[in-house]
Structure 1
Amino acid sequence: MTITAFPLAWPLHKPRTDHWRIERSAFDRKRSLASARDLLVNEIKLLRGTDLIVSSNIPLRLDGLPRSGYAAPRDAGVAICFKRDKQDMAFACDRWDRVEDNIYAIAKTIDALRGVARWGTGDMLKAAFTGFTALPPPIVAGMARPWWEVLGVPQDAGRQAIDAAWRRLSSQHHPDKGGTAERMAEINTARDAALKERT
């Protein structure tokens, strides 16, 4: 799967929630980003999932998970991907106005799906997960151009040139340096597509 943890990369076939439908959740408003993140990580472990990526507009800790203590982003959507039984899984939620509530909603959804197995109908678990497998790469704003145009390199550019172009563009367009999350997502997706072709 091609997905970036930061900024948010949204699955192609999952429609976004209309902005007027996004609302405050009925979840505990005292829930922190850290507690929601830790609950999600635990749910993935209990499901025997691996290679978890949590994608949002929250900057990352060194372990690649969203860092707590950051100001709430305008787009509070969250997408996750992980592997289960060697299959790629993806979940996404942008129904709520806080990142932590969207993470919590995904964690509780996974808990409910695990309940299918706990309640003795484990054969239904595989069927339930079918809808979450094999999603195409996420779509990001402006990724209508080929990767070599986004990175400003020739189509036959080697790995070194691709990495150099990505570093240069990242230093110019990262949200922490005045760029936008959308442009940074386009640059990251272009790099991933380029490197995938080179392997």
Structure 2
Amino acid sequence: MSDIPEYPLQWPEAVPRTTQRVTSQFKTTLHAALANVDKALRAFAKDSGKQVTGIVLSSNVGGLSLKAPADPGVAAWFTWDGEQRCIAVDRYPKPQDNLQAIFHIIEARRTEMRHGGLHVVRQTFKGFTALPAPDDWFKVLGFKPGATVGLNEVEAAFRSLAKNTHPDAGGSAAAMARLNWARDEARRQLGAPQ
């Protein structure tokens, strides 16, 4: 079972976020889009002969609100063929449209299965192999959650940690990517100029 929560949105670390959303042509309600994704994942499991388990549709749609969330992204996390996968879409301004896009992505994999076989789908699914959702930037930069932190402290912590984290200093590319993510997320949340 996945430990990914449904709410708030858990975006996969390696997937870039959309900076400029476009209006979709989908005419699907949230309820219908949820049903479409569920049906597509069940059909995909049947077509591939491999179970799809641990399905979590993570988004910022939560609680009782008539307003659309500021971040309409949706991430479909699940396990297939022994690996956790994530299909994440935030291209559209409405969560139901991003969810419907995920439905179409799954249906495209079903088409690949029919025409190319399981080996083709395994190849295309390598891009959906899920990296864990990113840590809290406070934790990555060495701050205690809830501490009052400003941009100067973020930059100082980043520079200090980068001295050992950078691949040229004996660190790894993955560790440096995580550190870069934390600094960028801190800057974004603290309102640094882009």
Q: TM-score, normalised by structure 1?
A: 0.63
Aligned to 1:179: none
Match of 1:12 in 2: 13
Contact 1:5 1:55 in 2 (8 A): yes
Output the CA distance in 2 between the equivalents of 1:81 and 1:55.
7
Offset at 1:70? Answer: 4.4
Partner of 1:51: 54
Deviation readout 1:138-179 (Å, 9 max, x if unpaired): 126x53316993389xxxxxxxxxxxxxxxxxxxxxxxxxxx
Structure with bigger RCO (C-alpha 8 Å, 6+ apart): 1
Q: Which of 35, 38, 52 is residue 35 of structure 2 equivalent to?
A: 38
Which of residues 134, 139, 143 in structure 2 aligns to 1:145? 139
- Aligned equivalents of 1:12, 1:2: Cα separation in 2: 15
% identical aligned pairs:
30
Using a 3 Å threshold, how does the CA distance of structure 1 residues 86 and 122 change in structure 2: closer, same or farther?
closer
Aligned-residue RMSD, C-alpha: 2.6
| Structure 2, gaps ≥5 residues long | 46-51, 148-184, 186-194
Please say if residues 139 and 145 of structure 2, whose CA atoms lie closer than 8 Å, have aligned partners that are also in contact. Answer: yes
Q: How many aligned positions are there?
A: 140
TM-score after normalising by structure 2 = 0.64
2:175 — aligned with what? Answer: none
| Local SS of the residue matching 1:117 | helix
* Residue type of the alignment partner of 1:3: I
CA distance in 1, matches of 2:145, 2:54: 28
1:90 aligns with 2:93: no
Name the CA distance, whole Å, in 1 between partners of 2:78 and 2:85.
5
